[in-house]
Structure 1
Amino acid sequence: MANNLSLAITFSLREMRSGLKGFYLFISCLAIGVAAIAGVGTVSKSIEAGLAKDGRKLLGGDFSIRLIHRSATEKQKKFFNKISDFSEVIEMRSMVQSNKSAAYRTLVELKAVDQAYPLVGNILLKQSLTLKEALQEKDGVFGAVVDKNLLTKLNLEIGDIINIGEAKFRLTGTIKKEPDKVTNILSFGPRVMIASLGLYRTKLVQPGSQIRYRYRIALSDSAKIINWRKELDKAFPAAGWRIRTSNEGTPGLKRFIDRMTLFLTFVGLTTLIVGGVGVSNAVSNFLSGKNKIIAIYKFLGAPSDLIFWIYALQLGVLALFGLLLGVLMGAILPAIGFLVLNDVFPVSPVISVYPKPLVVAAIYGVLVVLIFSTWPLAKAKAIPATNLFRDKIQLGEIKPHGGYKIILAILCATLASVILVSSDDILFNLYFVVGTCFVFLILKIFSTQLIHLSQKITVKNNTALRLAITNLHRPGSNASSIVLSLGLGLTVLVAISLIEDNLVNQIKKRLPDMAPAFFFLDIQTDQKSQFDQAIKEISGIGDYKRVATLRGRIVKINSISVEKAEISPNVLWAIRGDRALTYANVQSEDTKITAGKWWPKEYSGKPLISLDSAIAKGFGVTVGDTLTLNVLGREIIGEIASLRKINWRSLRFDFAIIFSPGVIDSAPHSHIAALQAPEALEDKIEESITNKFKNVSIIRVREALEAATQILNGIGMAVRSISSITLLVGSLVLAGAIAAGRQQRIYDAIIFKVLGATRWIIIKTLIYEFCILGFLTSFCSIVLGTLVGWTVVKYLMELNWQFSLQSILMSVIICLTITIIAGLAGTWSALSQKAASQLRND
């Protein structure tokens, strides 16, 4: 064995002196696939490192303590101050109106800061001012700094006056960079920043108002975070606040990054698997060109194992080169991207070499090379020596030893196992493995049946079409490679296009039909009658509904702390923060009770809860169980009296948790309202309500949906762009498949010429052949992509499905264009070959 290996190394090195001819495709497919996976992993690790490095700056300190509706007590503030300096930041949504014209108004994200803000990091203004100078009071008017787009939206300039609530503010600057803005991913409007003293002049701070108080605390020794948190919990065990430390970073952003990384890694894997088809084609083409050399080896007495290792070692060296190139690209390209697109990222990524994603990408690459090159090597090993002195040898007719099938099965199982354990979301990984295997299997079956069916089709009156159909099933046909290489990439693009189209359609077409035109926030209890009357005075409006609301946090499930309770991952959102609550004595007409029953109209007993049935399932609770909520620092235990099925996509008023009367209705709270109205009345309604109720914030649902659509379109464009790499590799594989059959094409063209076929007949034959392959591959990809998209939309996203032919037509056009152009380009030279030299050895 050792002697054979030594000989294999010697002969491999000698043969490799001829260069990389025929292996550029092999290296390209492998390098691009590995680079895609390594690059995605590197980007993710760089951003995660940036989050960790700038954790204090992004959070605003070592600690962030959040309260809803109420500020910290003086006792709590003294405790904060005893440990270290702290800063109080108050956030809410409010309407801003230009002092020039009442017609210029919009909803903004209002942020009031004290003198200590920011404790960590710096806020940058485009003007040569400090934040303290920009927000200070001059001539009885406080300053305000804003996002630049607010100036455009309201036709404002620096120095103009804006109205917020009952107070006026002078625009003194625009925000260039806000250090802790990334902690607030969801935004309904541009940022307006004012001084805390100025906020109280607006008279927007009312009992029950939707206000978030954040207390940022910077310790002198960040290593004492854990100890300080224990002291805080011990001093105020039932404070009802939400604490986040700089070590925890920004969980919402991290979850988004993790999800995108997982998805894009799968896109990279798909690219690599498509590239694997190209690897197989390149290996087969390479070995076909070594027929005479292998013949000489065998007639000189070389055993089959020696021949296997001679070429396996050559492929191993080339694969190593492709892997190193891919890993190098995956490490360098993200760094270049970060430098060029630095302002696009919400955090400053840490540019470095991260070994784990590079190693993982290399492992994937090794497994794909082994899976797709073992079978062609086994075929070459099994060819009898007596068949190797002719030019036309069809490897497809050779049957390798059955043991290689076992080896391939083990390699495939290993690749699937690595994918399954590559992230924490094993279920999602399992979907990918099963889905990829299913698509690959269907494409393989489709290509086999296509070849089989073409044998039964007879065309009598069209010579070029008859020859084209014959080419599909002739020995050495590359129909199977074309279907696999383009089919996988197109299936991914079709699925993504249909999923995105359904999401956009849900937001742009279906939701506006069901959703109200406006949401009104922060209606005070003493204003509700006046507000109802103001709405009634507007003619031409639709349905109107107003309900009381405040916020509370679920802290226990059946007396078990939520930190220790077993909760399904799909409802973890319910315990991550404060939830909107309400109370009601009668159920609304559209309530769908699935278990239990509603309390009597005049009920006045112990606290009862009507709970969302999906949350109940995720919590593992039912009627009769209890939930404990912290509402304004007070823990309230409620017994679940009924479960309701809620359609959140309707955007109608509904609450996951509804209390019976007599429990939270005495607590300070505000009201929210929803109104349906035609688009033509929206400006009139907004102006009327804004002028009469300056504290009420107005959300235009139409604008919010348009903003959501823009975000979705942006994400979709990015995902499609990255997914198109799969199609790029598919195109390379197609070119390789056609190149692999170039000699056969030359041979066929010579035979056609000898039999009297003209150049035009041969060209038409090629066009027909590639059109048939391109069209049928597109059809199969559309069916598979539609099936994948339907499954995701219907069962994972639980949305209504709608097929869109328009969104996939471009995929079909791309497929046909690539197939025809690549096919003709790869075979054009066959038309000018001389017959004598090609037929001499046959």
Structure 2
Amino acid sequence: MVNNLSLAITFSLREMRSGLKGFYLFISCLAIGVAAIAGVGTVSKSIEAGLAKDGRKLLGGDLSIRLIHRSATEKQKKFFNKISDFSEVIEMRSMVQSNKSAAYRTLVELKAVDQAYPLVGNILLNQSLTLKEALQEKDGVFGAVVDKNLLTKLNLEIGDIINIGEAKFRLTGTIKKEPDKVTNILSFGPRVMIASLGLYRTKLVQPGSQIRYRYRIALSDSEKIINWRKELDKAFPAAGWRIRTSNEGTPGLKRFIDRMTLFLTFVGLTTLIVGGVGVSNAVSNFLNGKNKIIAIYKFLGAPSDLIFWIYALQLGVLALFGLLIGILMGAILPAIGFLVLNDVFPVSPVISVYPKPLVVAAIYGVLVVLIFSTWPLAKAKAIPATNLFRDKIQLGKIKPHGGYKIILAILCATLASVILISSDDILFNLYFVIGTCFVFLILKIFSTQLIHLSQKITVKNNTALRLAITNLHRPRSNASSIVLSLGLGLTVLVAISLIEDNLVNQIKKRLPDMAPAFFFLDIQTDQRSQFDQAIKEISGIGDYKRVATLRGRIVKINSISVEKAEISPNVRWAIRGDRALTYANVQSEGTKITAGKWWPKEYSGKPLISLDSAIAKGFGVTVGDTLTLNVLGREIIGEIASLRKINWRSLRFDFAIIFSPGVLDSAPHSHIAALQAPEALENKIEESITNKFKNVSIIRVREALEAAAQILNGIGMAVRSISSITLLVGSLVLAGAIAAGRQQRIYDAIIFKVLGATRWIIIKTLIYEFCILGFLTSFCSIVLGTLVGWTVVKYLMELNWQFSLQSILMSVIICLTI
């Protein structure tokens, strides 16, 4: 074995002196695929490191304590101040109106800060002012700083007066950078920042108003965070607040990054698998050119194992070269992108070399090379010495030892296992593995059947077409390689295009048809009658509904704390923060009870709950079980009386948790309302309500959906850009497959000319051949891509499906052009 390996190294080095001819495709496909996976992983790790590095700045301190509806008590504030510095930040949504004209108004994210803000980091303004100077009171009017786009939206200039609630504010500056803004991913409007004292002049702070109080705590020794948190919980065990440390300040952004990383890694892996077809072609073509040499080795007594290792070592060196290029690209290109596009990212990424994504990419690369090169090497090993006396030797006619099929199965199983354990979402990974195997298998069967079918087709009156069809099944035909390389790339592009189109269509076209035109927030209890009357006075409107609402947090499931309870990942959102609650004596129209029954209209007994059936399934609870919620610092135990199936996509007024009457009625709360109205009346309705009810915030659903569609379009563009790499590699594989048969085609062309064929017949033959392959592969890929897209939209996203011919045609045109 040692002598064989030594000889293999010697012969490998001698053969490699001839250069890399024929292996540029091998290296390119491998390098691009590895670079895509390594690059996505490096971007993710860089942003995560940025989040960790700037955790205190993004959170606003070492800890953040959040309360809904109510501020901390004086006793609690004294406790904060006794141990550390703290800052109080108050956030809510409000309407802002230009003092120039009542027609200029919009919903904003209002943020009131105290003198200590920000405890950590700095807020930057576009003007030469400090925040304290910008917000201070002058001539009885407080200052305000805003997002720059608010000036354009309301036709404002610095120095103008704006109205918020019952108070006036002077615009003194625009915000360049807000250190803790990334903690609030969901935004319904531009930022307006004012002083806390100015907020109370607006008279927006009312019992039950949708106000979030955040207390940022900065400790002198950040190592004492855990101990301080324990002291806080001990001093106020039923405070009902939500606490975050600087290590968990942006969970929403972190989840989004993890999801995008997982998805883009799969796109990169698909690219690598497409490249694997190119690897297989390159190896097969290389070994086809070595047939005579291998036969000579065998004739001189070289054992089969020696032949295998001579060429396996050469491929190993070349694969190492490709892996190194891919890893270097995956490490360097993200750093260049961060420097060029620094302002695009929500945090400052930490540019560094992160070993884990590079190693993972290398492992994927090694496994793909082994899977796609083992079979051609096994065929080369099986070449008999008698082939030295044959003019043409075809590897396709040589059958390797059956043990190599077992080796291939083990390698494929290893790759699937690595994919499955690469992230916490094993189910999502499993879907990818099954989907990839399914698509690959169908394309392989399709190419085999296409070749088989071409043998049975006879064309009598068209010589070029007859020759083109014959070329599909001739020896050393590259039809199978073309179908796989073109088909995989086009299937991915069609699936992604259809998924994106369905998401955007759902938001832009379907939801507006079902959704109300407006949501009205913070309607006070004593305003209910006046508000209802104001709506009735508007002619031409549609359905109107108003309900009471306040917020509470689920703390226990059947007396077990949510931290210890077993909860399905798909419903963990229900325990991450405060949930909107309401109470009702009768069930709403259209309510679908799936278990239990609604309480009687005049019910006045123990607290009962009607719960969303999906949450109940994720919690593992049913009728008769209990949930404990913390509402305004008071724990309420409610028994589940019924389960409801809720269609959240309808945007119909609904709540995951509805209490029976008599539980929340006396608690401070506000009301929210929904109104359907034609688009032509929207401005009139907004103006009427804004003028009569200064404290009521108005959300235009149409604008919110348009903003969501823009975000989806941006994400879709990024995903399509990454997916285009798959097409790039597919085109390289396609070019390689065509180039590999160049000598054979020249040989065939000479024979045809000798037999009387004209140049035009030969050209038409090639055009027909590639058109047949291109259009038939496109048809198969459209079917597969549509099936994948339909499965994802219908069953994973649980949305209504719509076929988009335009998206498919664009994908096919792009692919065929390449």
Shorter-chain TM-score above 0.5: yes
Distance 2:388 2:182 in 1: 66
CA contact (8 A) 1:444 1:484 kept: yes
**Displacement of 1:739:** 1.4
CA contact (8 A) 1:30 1:272 kept: yes
CA contact (8 A) 2:295 2:383 kept: no
**Displacement of 1:230:** 0.2
Distance 2:478 2:42 in 1: 36
Spell out, residue by residue over 1:370-394, the C-alpha distance to the aligned partner (whole angstroms, 9 max, x if none). Answer: 1111111111121222224555322
CA gap 1:390/1:176 in 2 versus in 1, 3 angstroms: farther
**Displacement of 1:150:** 0.5
> Number of residue pairs matched?
815
Distance 1:466 1:154 in 2: 70
Distance 1:812 1:353 in 2: 38
**Displacement of 1:154:** 0.6
**Displacement of 1:298:** 2.1
CA gap 1:601/1:408 in 2 versus in 1, 3 angstroms: same
Distance 1:145 1:562 in 2: 40
Which residue in the other structure is 2:342 paired with? 342
RMSD of aligned alpha carbons: 0.8
Structure 2 residue matching 1:387: 3-state secondary structure: helix
CA contact (8 A) 1:274 1:729 kept: yes
- TM-score normalised by L of structure 1: 0.96
**Displacement of 1:666:** 0.3
Structure 1 residue matching 2:75: 3-state secondary structure: helix
Distance 1:256 1:462 in 2: 57
Structure 2 residue matching 1:644: 3-state secondary structure: strand
CA contact (8 A) 1:284 1:740 kept: no
**Displacement of 1:100:** 0.7
Report the more deviating stretch, 88-97 or 388-397: 388-397
Distance 2:332 2:403 in 1: 41
**Displacement of 1:295:** 2.7
Distance 1:631 1:389 in 2: 89
**Displacement of 1:748:** 1.2
Structure 2 residue matching 1:504: 3-state secondary structure: helix
**Displacement of 1:813:** 1.6
Spell out, residue by residue over 1:74-132, the C-alpha distance to the aligned partner (whole angstroms, 9 max, x if none). Answer: 00000000011100000000000111111010000000000000000000001111000
Distance 1:5 1:594 in 2: 70
**Displacement of 1:141:** 0.7
Structure 2 unmatched ranges of 5 or more: none
Distance 1:755 1:202 in 2: 94
**Displacement of 1:745:** 1.0
Distance 1:208 1:795 in 2: 39
Report the more deviating stretch, 88-97 or 419-428: 419-428
CA contact (8 A) 1:64 1:245 kept: yes
**Displacement of 1:618:** 0.8
Which residue in the other structure is 2:328 paired with? 328
Which residue in the other structure is 1:430 paired with? 430
Distance 1:685 1:248 in 2: 41
Which residue in the other structure is 2:380 paired with? 380
Report the more deviating stretch, 702-711 or 374-383: 374-383
Distance 1:412 1:531 in 2: 65
Distance 1:646 1:460 in 2: 63
2:568 is aligned with 1:568: yes
Distance 1:150 1:377 in 2: 65
Spell out, residue by residue over 1:554-575, the C-alpha distance to the aligned partner (whole angstroms, 9 max, x if none). Answer: 1111111111111111110111
Distance 1:253 1:155 in 2: 32
Distance 2:632 2:173 in 1: 36
Report the more deviating stretch, 297-306 or 736-745: 297-306
Distance 1:110 1:452 in 2: 69
Which residue in the other structure is 1:244 paired with? 244
CA contact (8 A) 2:297 2:307 kept: yes
**Displacement of 1:438:** 0.8
CA contact (8 A) 1:52 1:249 kept: no
Distance 2:320 2:284 in 1: 19
Which residue in the other structure is 1:790 paired with? 790
Distance 1:127 1:756 in 2: 82
Distance 2:363 2:643 in 1: 49
**Displacement of 1:624:** 0.9
CA contact (8 A) 2:497 2:811 kept: no
Structure 2 residue matching 1:72: 3-state secondary structure: coil
CA contact (8 A) 1:90 1:111 kept: yes
Distance 1:414 1:375 in 2: 17
CA gap 1:732/1:389 in 2 versus in 1, 3 angstroms: farther
Distance 2:372 2:389 in 1: 26
Structure 2 residue matching 1:294: 3-state secondary structure: helix
**Displacement of 1:299:** 2.2
Report the more deviating stretch, 130-139 or 293-302: 293-302
Which residue in the other structure is 1:760 paired with? 760
Distance 1:501 1:385 in 2: 58
Structure 2 residue matching 1:18: 3-state secondary structure: coil
Structure 2 residue matching 1:110: 3-state secondary structure: strand
Spell out, residue by residue over 1:438-478, the C-alpha distance to the aligned partner (whole angstroms, 9 max, x if none). Answer: 11111100000000011111111111111111111111110
CA contact (8 A) 2:292 2:387 kept: no
- TM-score normalised by L of structure 2: 0.99
**Displacement of 1:264:** 0.7
CA contact (8 A) 1:455 1:473 kept: yes
Structure 1 residue matching 2:452: 3-state secondary structure: helix
Structure 1 residue matching 2:673: 3-state secondary structure: strand
CA contact (8 A) 1:291 1:389 kept: no
CA gap 1:3/1:684 in 2 versus in 1, 3 angstroms: same
CA contact (8 A) 2:460 2:466 kept: yes
**Displacement of 1:541:** 0.3
Distance 1:421 1:589 in 2: 46
CA contact (8 A) 2:549 2:582 kept: yes
Which residue in the other structure is 1:267 paired with? 267
Structure 1 residue matching 2:637: 3-state secondary structure: strand
Spell out, residue by residue over 1:180-212, the C-alpha distance to the aligned partner (whole angstroms, 9 max, x if none). Answer: 000000000000000000000100000000000
Which residue in the other structure is 2:281 paired with? 281
Distance 1:588 1:300 in 2: 88
**Displacement of 1:161:** 0.7
**Displacement of 1:527:** 0.6
Report the more deviating stretch, 125-134 or 385-394: 385-394
Which residue in the other structure is 1:506 paired with? 506
Structure 1 residue matching 2:17: 3-state secondary structure: helix
Distance 1:391 1:576 in 2: 72
Distance 1:220 1:318 in 2: 55
Distance 2:502 2:430 in 1: 24
CA contact (8 A) 2:60 2:120 kept: yes
Spell out, residue by residue over 1:355-413, the C-alpha distance to the aligned partner (whole angstroms, 9 max, x if none). Answer: 11111111111111111111111111212222245553221111111111111111111
Which residue in the other structure is 2:740 paired with? 740
Distance 1:275 1:111 in 2: 51
Spell out, residue by residue over 1:54-85, the C-alpha distance to the aligned partner (whole angstroms, 9 max, x if none). Answer: 10000000000000000000000000000111
**Displacement of 1:306:** 1.2
Distance 2:272 2:648 in 1: 39
CA contact (8 A) 1:749 1:762 kept: yes
Which residue in the other structure is 2:175 paired with? 175
Spell out, residue by residue over 1:659-696, the C-alpha distance to the aligned partner (whole angstroms, 9 max, x if none). Answer: 11111010000000000000000000000000110110
Distance 2:14 2:623 in 1: 78
Distance 1:702 1:159 in 2: 31
Structure 1 residue matching 2:91: 3-state secondary structure: strand
**Displacement of 1:291:** 2.3
Distance 1:323 1:590 in 2: 58
**Displacement of 1:249:** 3.1
* Matched ranges for 1:215-614 at <5 A: 215-390=215-390, 392-614=392-614
Distance 2:742 2:293 in 1: 20
CA contact (8 A) 1:12 1:311 kept: yes
Structure 1 residue matching 2:9: 3-state secondary structure: helix
CA gap 1:99/1:5 in 2 versus in 1, 3 angstroms: same
CA contact (8 A) 1:90 1:196 kept: yes
Structure 1 residue matching 2:389: 3-state secondary structure: coil
**Displacement of 1:635:** 0.5
Spell out, residue by residue over 1:476-509, the C-alpha distance to the aligned partner (whole angstroms, 9 max, x if none). Answer: 1100000111111111111111111111111111
* Matched ranges for 1:599-678 at <5 A: 599-678=599-678
CA contact (8 A) 2:294 2:383 kept: no
Structure 1 residue matching 2:432: 3-state secondary structure: helix
Distance 1:781 1:296 in 2: 44
